[in-house]
Amino acid sequence: MLFYDAVNPAPNPRRVRIYLAEKGLSVPSETLSIVAGEHKGPDFLAVNPLGQIPALKLDNGDVLTESVSICRLFEAMHPAPPMFGEGPQGMAEVDMWIRRAELRMMVPLSMVWAHCHPFTARVVKPQYTEFGESQRPRVISAMREFDRALADRDYLSGKGYSMADIVLLSVVDFAGFVGIPIPEDQANLRAWHERVSARPSAQA
């Protein structure tokens, strides 16, 4: 196996690193430089034609992409401790929160990142700045949805720390990097963020 990785602040490979740290697993890896465009070079495009990181090359030569799918493979191989929920309802809840973090927060955040940030100006041409700015309030309102959900629980699924918390942590930290910190008045989300950031795995 070979895990294709990229350093922070790239949020998606970080999810896999946090997951592996939580599970106590280690996988051979190669770190590519996004700044140097290595993820768009011919060698990596031969691995993942999408030119996106992370990717996981399996021993049989097949390649998996998508951070959550890569973690699902490891989960099937190493089910304990469960990180994708337990029982029908528990598993569905973790899946629901993962999708909400990705669709309701990461999607508008990606638009702010792509269309407003100076780092992406080199590759996103043209940048539709006005459109990008219009997505900033959507990120904050998605944060508010999570703030409300966390009013009566320590972790998203309610049954303990899970992959959903890993995905949300990666998105919230990336939002901070893009210039959208958790608002002061979102005390539940801020407390959750402190809680999950205190786990050793968050250093990944």
Binding site for ligand GSH (CB under 6 A): 6, 10-12, 39, 51-54, 66-67
**Which tokens go with 149?**
């959900």
How would you class 42 by CB atoms within 10 Å of its CB: exposed for 0-12, middle for 13-18, buried for 19 or more?
A: exposed
Residue nearer to ligand GSH on the CB measure, 66 or 75? 66
CA 86 – CA 116 distance, rounded (Å): 40
CA 130 – CA 96 distance, rounded (Å): 31
Q: Report the nearest approach of ligand GSH to the CB of residue 53 (Å).
A: 4
Residue nearer to ligand GSH on the CB measure, 12 or 157? 12
Q: Report the nearest approach of ligand GSH to the CB of residue 9 (Å).
A: 8
Q: Report the nearest approach of ligand GSH to the CB of residue 54 (Å).
A: 6
**Which tokens go with 48?**
């993942």
Residue at 107: amino acid letter: V
Residue 2 β-bridge partners: 57
Q: Quickly list H helices, 67-106.
A: 67-77, 87-100
CA 121 – CA 119 distance, rounded (Å): 6
Q: Report the nearest approach of ligand GSH to the CB of residue 191 (Å).
A: 26
Q: Report the nearest approach of ligand GSH to the CB of residue 122 (Å).
A: 12
Residue nearer to ligand GSH on the CB measure, 86 or 95? 95
Residue nearer to ligand GSH on the CB measure, 12 or 162? 12
Residue nearer to ligand GSH on the CB measure, 143 or 163? 163
Cis peptide bond upstream of 82, omega within 30: no
Q: Report the nearest approach of ligand GSH to the CB of residue 65 (Å).
A: 6
CB atoms closer than 10 angstroms to residue 120 = 17
Residue at 176: amino acid letter: G
Residue nearer to ligand GSH on the CB measure, 36 or 198? 36
